[in-house]
Structure 1
Amino acid sequence: MNLWRTDVLVVGVGLILAVVRWAPPATNGRPALAVDQLTYILSGSHLKWFEPGERTQATDSGEYAARNVVPSRFAMRYDGLIFVAMPKLKPGVMFTLGVVEYEPCLSTIEPPIAPYPCAAAHRKQGTGNGWTMVNVVDVYMDEAGRLWALDVGKINLLGKTSVVRPPMVFAIDTGVDEFIHAIDLSRATTEASCLQSIIVDSSTSGETFLYIADAGQAAVIVYNVHCDRSFKVHVPVGPCGRQDILYMALTSVNEYILNGGHDPYGLGTGRDDNDFQRRLYVTYLSSCQMLYVPVYELDEIDVTYSLSAVGIGRKPCKMILLGTDRSSVIYFRPGETNDIWSWDTSTPFHEDNFKFVQYGRTTRVPLMVNIGFRGYQWYMESNFIDFLLDDIGCLGVSTKIQPLQIVSDELECRPALPLDNGPNCSTDDAFVCLKNLIPFEHAILY
């Protein structure tokens, strides 16, 4: 599994510098497929089993039910290793964080999903250090090859929810498949919290910050890993109040270009087209406002952190944020369509600057876009709506992960953006708040 080689250098006293080099996987003499030809279809019916009869025993005991395993979020390492979050929405989910090995020579239909970082990490007795994963709802791969997993600490989110322990964030060194952080979020959360997604960021001073969407508190939790400190940024709620989905997207904005080549600070010098600011864009599903949190200020403020969300305007349509290119572009799904569009945040927030990216499919809904193998943009789509409607077969949800097929700007038959000027920036009479559609805790899938 490990395709990374880590050289450890000791610099001075107590400072260890790990240099990670990527070693390409062997292809056994077969030509590797072009990246745009790779496709992975995942389902709960294809897990990796380690002992004869293990699947039958788990099925008979009720510990495993293929139709209840729903891959809903993913992160991909540069070498193509795929990590998937499988929330425990109903009973029968053997493990909540899995890994799919990369095969460079062929597209893989339903490859086996193995427990990550090991099977023991998902059992009640846990690993040797006592850490046990309960219910991972989102994952994020940082630039250093560390996988961060958001664990809400409660199970059966679509039934009789049971709280097992406080929510936590786990960090795993994917080079050696070992835990390096286990962060208890009980100080930053309440009983009303609904943790939905996580983004990891690094300041210019080298500090690591976690941004965690907590729609239940109408806030983004900002956690400094090095200082073990956190604070909250309030995000004004939409028409559905705190029964909503809070989306986040971190980009690097070229403010000089955004302001048309003008110096917004009046400094005269030092502002050019190489100046970028990190902004965390936030919006609710039901809200008609797009905002951002100026997280670049974390480089400047002291430990009494205080940030405020800044509004940038009204959304021209309902925008389901899917992810970014880890630079300035946000990908989103507009309105009720399954098409994927993009907005370069270094341009003004206006429909004229939204670009069509890819046509959607009627049977699958795009869940997220992420950077992955060789720097390409990959996206995940799924028929999870059938699962929500209890209209799924015994094999469960079918989830596809493949490279984003960005259309040419010269395409003449591109669709029009489905604009919506309703009061809620959604379909007026047809819009239903989450609390009337599905249980609130299941918001992560949207």
Structure 2
Amino acid sequence: MTSLSWLLLAAAGLSLVAASCDKSLLPELTFTLNGANLAWPCTSTRNIYASSGRYVSRNIIATRVQIFKDEAIVATPRYKPGVPFTLGKLSLKSKDHQAVLSPFPCWSLQEEGNCQALQSVVDLFLDPQDILWVLDVGIVNTLDQPIRRCPPKIVAINVKTGKVVKVIDLSGLVCSASRLQYLVVDYAEDGRVFIYVSDAATRAIIVFDVTAGRGFRVVLPKAVTDGCLRRDVLYLALIRKPCGTTVLYFTYLSSGRLFSIKTAHLRRGSARGTVVDVGPKPTNLVILGTDGGTALFFRYKGDSEIYLWNTETCFKEENFMLVQQAGECRLATQVVPGYKRLMWVLESNFQDYIQNTVGCAGASVSLHPLVKGCE
């Protein structure tokens, strides 16, 4: 790893596992997640869920994660039937590396069909005030026969207490074609809280001023979809510049270019003349996350290597630093800062899950520190 990448992470108080053949930290802090290891209130509850089809272990997959102290909170979207809870947690202090997932914050908030509860969580964001913002699209069985159970919403949970502190109904900000995918949360200099949500199908970003209790849609320029065969995945990443300015980077998976916009412009509701074309992408790339500062992590579509780009430098391949080499047949879905001041990776064989080719044990999901292999 170059000295620059170490400096980037050190500035954020974070680090990677050392790039040497001694990977002693990795086995100790590697956790395997699957639908067979869930924490149930009792055996009879598990049996009732299984016999009624509300629990199908192979249909459970963790796709997004946020880390609070020594716990990881994960999203398990209801892509298929049989997912008993869509928001769970696991302990990173556990000595059993077959992680046990518990519903977060409780079972009552997981009831499918109850619009006061969570239906299908697709993204999470933990803010500096220890509030977890949860994007619930309200649609279940997405990969089989989609059913809209409830309107889309954002739920704010105090991770210290597990209490729901706010619910934001997004039904007035979407249309029938909307496909919500990612959210990030930003604090303005005056303390106001803003949420940005990507709506891939309509080429828009939903902006919600939490403090004022109002939201609006910002339609992105047509150039954002130039070259796209379809409006597939609209990734978001919030970067905080050294001066304190926040910038939202975004791109469609099949777009040939990366774009950005200062959040101050988004808050004013205008994307005209304010969207910056950051540059061409070498190929289709998947944005995985940030270090909370200027570093953006990504991988190329279909490839497992993870790269870091310092957004203070030009968006060119010579500025992309390899921070995790190719591993097993899993692909990363997120990189986040967290426990032991490390960067963490959530990865899975999501492609097999989509194609319904996973075994009886279900998807292969792993959560571990970001580590560069031996050179």
Which interval holds the TM-score relative to the shorter structure?
0.7 to 0.9
**Equivalent residue, structure 2, for 1:346:** 312
- Aligned match of 1:369 in 335, 359, 367? 335
Alignment of 1:55 onto 2:38: no
Native 8 Å contact 1:199 1:210 kept in 2: yes
* Farther off after superposition, 191-200 or 33-42: 33-42
Q: Which residue of 1 aligns with 2:195?
A: 210
Q: CA deviation at 1:350?
A: 1.5
1:171 and 1:182 in contact (8 A); partners too = yes
Could you tell me how far 1:162 is from its partner in structure 2?
Answer: 0.8
Equivalent residue in structure 2 for 1:283, among 239, 247, 251: 251
Distance 1:326 1:144 in 2: 14
Instruction: Give 1:242 shift.
Output: 5.0
Partner secondary structure for residue 172 of structure 2: coil
Q: What is the rounded CA distance, in whole Å, between the counterparts of 1:377 and 1:189 in structure 2?
A: 34
- Tell me how far 1:99 sits from its aligned partner: 1.1
Alpha-carbon distance, 1:57 to partner: 2.0
Counterparts of 2:92 and 2:131, CA distance in 1: 18
After TM superposition, give the deviation of residue 125 of structure 1 in Å.
Answer: 8.0
Write the distance in 2 (CA, Å) between the matches of 1:75 and 1:35: 19
Residue pair 1:207, 1:225 contacting (<8 A) in 2 also: yes
Q: Does 1:81 align with 2:71?
A: yes
1:238–1:286 CA contact under 8 A, matched in 2: no
Contiguous gaps of at least 5 residues in structure 2: 1-23
8 Å contact from structure 1 (residues 360, 366) kept in 2: no
Q: Does 1:193 align with 2:183?
A: no
**Per-residue CA distance 1:89-125 (angstroms, 9 max, x = gap):** 1110101111112316x3x322211111110111258
**Residue equivalent to 1:160:** 145
1:305 aligns with 2:273: no
2:354 to 381, 385, 388: 388
Letter of the structure 1 residue corresponding to residue 122 of structure 2: V
Output the amino acid matched with 1:279: V
> After the TM superposition, which residues 188-337 of structure 1 pair with which residues of structure 2 at under 5 Å, given as runs?
188-235=173-220, 236-240=224-228, 242-254=230-242, 275-297=243-265, 305-307=269-271, 308-337=274-303
Bigger shift: residues 46-55 or 241-250: 241-250
Q: Distance in 2 between matches of 1:60 and 1:124?
A: 16
CA deviation profile, 1:361-414 (whole Å, cap 9, x unmatched): 24111111011113321011111211112111121112111111146xxx8x5x
Q: Among all aligned residue pairs of Structure 1 and Structure 2, give the percentage whose two residues are the same amino acid.
A: 33
Amino acid in structure 2 at the alignment position of 1:381: E
Structure 1 unaligned residues grouped into runs of 5+: 1-32, 255-274, 414-446
Q: Deviations over 1:245-273 (max 9, x none)?
A: 1111111234xxxxxxxxxxxxxxxxxxx
Q: Would the aligned equivalents of 2:113 and 2:149 in 1 still touch at CA under 8 Å?
A: no
Aligned length: 347
Distance across 1 between alignment mates of 2:351 and 2:229: 23
Residues 32-43 of structure 1 aligned to structure 2 (within 5 Å):
37-43=28-34
Change in 2 beyond 3 A, CA 1:240/1:125: closer
Separation (CA, whole Å) in 1 of partners of 2:61 and 2:26: 25
- The amino acid that maps onto 1:224 is D
Amino acid at match of 1:173: N
Work out which of the two has the higher radius of gyration on C-alpha atoms and give 1 or 2: 1
User: 2:356 & 2:371 partners in 1: Cα distance?
Assistant: 31
Q: Does 1:403 align with 2:369?
A: yes
Which amino acid in structure 2 is aligned with residue 56 of structure 1?
N
CA contact (8 A) 2:225 2:231 kept: no
Please provide the CA RMSD for this pair: 2.0
Deviation at 1:160, TM superposition (A): 1.3
Higher relative contact order (CA 8 A, sep 6+): 2
| Corresponding position of 2:58 | 67
